[in-house]
């Protein structure tokens, strides 16, 4: 999700000022959502175009190279077509990253949206029991970097598995070479300073 301050509170202006690389996708997603679920209300929150009924159901984000549709209770939704491709490690929020709408299974997407609306309309529906998460594999570059920094390795080893996982996920989900290098550098610096992932910027 995009956590930057919202550039506007007006949905129309938000769409108009989307980056060129995602504007058309965001426009089409918005049209589909309102066509299929016209009772949803839109608003802007954390620079996302959000769609809500009782609570926020889903949101559209526009980035330079891709758009993203986020479902706030995605973990609880059936996804037989495996549309979700981002944030699968999260306990609740799951997303779909899109560089184009070509190839998107619209029937499955509509079913996913409808299921999310139904879930939002059942406030008494209990959340499913938490499923134990599979161990996230250690990125090779992080393992190698820890071997070279004893202070960072010592603090990492004493962290609970949940906090170790945050660093492993953060490093391994980076795609661009420069992003990988930056995250790895920040990780080692933060660990050497005795900081958990959520505190990492304090070590900058």
Asked whether residue 168 is assigned to any structural domain, the reply reads yes
Q: Which domain range does residue 48 map to?
A: 11-120
Same domain, yes or no: 115 and 146: no
Residue 23 pLDDT:
95
CATH for 113: 3.90.1150.200
Same domain, yes or no: 24 and 115: yes
Report phi then psi at 117, rounded to 5: -65, -45
**Structure tokens, 79:** 């996804």
- CA-CA distance, 152 to 143, in Å (whole number)? 11
Structure confidence by residue, pLDDT tens digits, 130-170: 555 567 899 999 999 999 999 999 999 999 888 898 888 88
Same domain, yes or no: 20 and 94: yes
Same domain, yes or no: 102 and 148: no
- CA-CA distance, 68 to 25, in Å (whole number)? 9
Same domain, yes or no: 114 and 171: no
Structure confidence by residue, pLDDT tens digits, 35-49: 999 899 999 999 999
Same domain, yes or no: 34 and 112: yes
Dihedral angle sign, alpha carbons of residues 136, 137, 141, 147: positive
Same domain, yes or no: 36 and 111: yes
Model pTM score = 0.61
Same domain, yes or no: 28 and 75: yes
Asked whether residue 16 is assigned to any structural domain, the reply reads yes
């Amino acid at each position: 999700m995009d956590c930057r301050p919202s550039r506007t509170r007006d949905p129309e202006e938000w769409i108009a000022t989307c980056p060129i690389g995602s504007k058309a996708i965001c426009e089409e997603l918005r049209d589909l959502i309102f066509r299929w679920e016209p009772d949803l209300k839109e608003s802007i929150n954390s620079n996302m175009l959000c769609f809500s009924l009782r609570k926020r159901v889903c949101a559209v984000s526009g980035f330079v190279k891709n758009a993203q549709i986020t479902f706030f209770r995605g973990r609880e939704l059936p996804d037989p077509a495996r549309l979700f491709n981002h944030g699968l490690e999260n306990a609740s929020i799951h997303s779909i990253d899109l560089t184009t709408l070509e190839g998107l299974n619209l029937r499955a997407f509509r079913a996913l949206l409808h299921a999310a609306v139904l879930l939002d309309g059942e406030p008494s529906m209990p959340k499913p029991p938490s499923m134990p998460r599979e161990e996230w594999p250690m990125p090779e570059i992080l393992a190698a970097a820890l071997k070279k920094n004893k202070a960072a390795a010592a603090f990492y080893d004493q962290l609970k598995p949940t906090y170790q996982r945050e660093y492993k996920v953060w490093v391994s989900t980076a795609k661009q070479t420069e992003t990988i290098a930056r995250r790895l550098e920040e990780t080692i610096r933060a660990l050497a300073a005795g900081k958990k992932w959520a505190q990492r910027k304090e070590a900058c």
